Amino acid sequence: MEKSYTEKQLRGIAEECQEFEHIINAMGYGYSLLNVSATDYVRRCTDCTHWLGGSCNIFQKEVSQWE
């Protein structure tokens, strides 16, 4: 069972992460094709290629500081 994290945690950690890569960008579709505006774009760890169900090492290190 996957642990649940708050929206504040997912956004806060993603905003600071230097390794963040959005899954849309990684798939090569580009943001405009999927109707995602750069001005409306919100970074969340769950949308990152490194997320892997919450097993990202960077995320785990950072989220432990929230507890």
Token pair for residue 54?
Answer: 């919450």
- The DSSP H or E segment spanning 49 is none
- The DSSP H or E segment spanning 24 is helix 23-27
Give Cα 50 distance to the centre of its chain.
8
Instruction: Report the distance separating Cα 24 and Cα 4, nearest Å.
Output: 23
Assess if residue 1 is contained within a domain.
no
Confidence of residue 1 (pLDDT cuts 50, 70, 90): very low
Assess if residue 24 is contained within a domain.
yes
- Looking at residue 3, its pLDDT comes to 79
pLDDT at 67 over 80: no
Higher pLDDT, 3 or 2: 3
The total of structural domains in the chain comes to 1
Q: Of 52, 47, 54, whose CA–CA distance to 20 is shortest?
A: 47
pTM above 0.85, yes or no: no
Give the pLDDT confidence of 24-64 residue by residue, as tens digits: 777 666 555 555 655 567 889 998 999 999 999 999 999 99
Which residue range is the domain that position 34 belongs to? 7-63
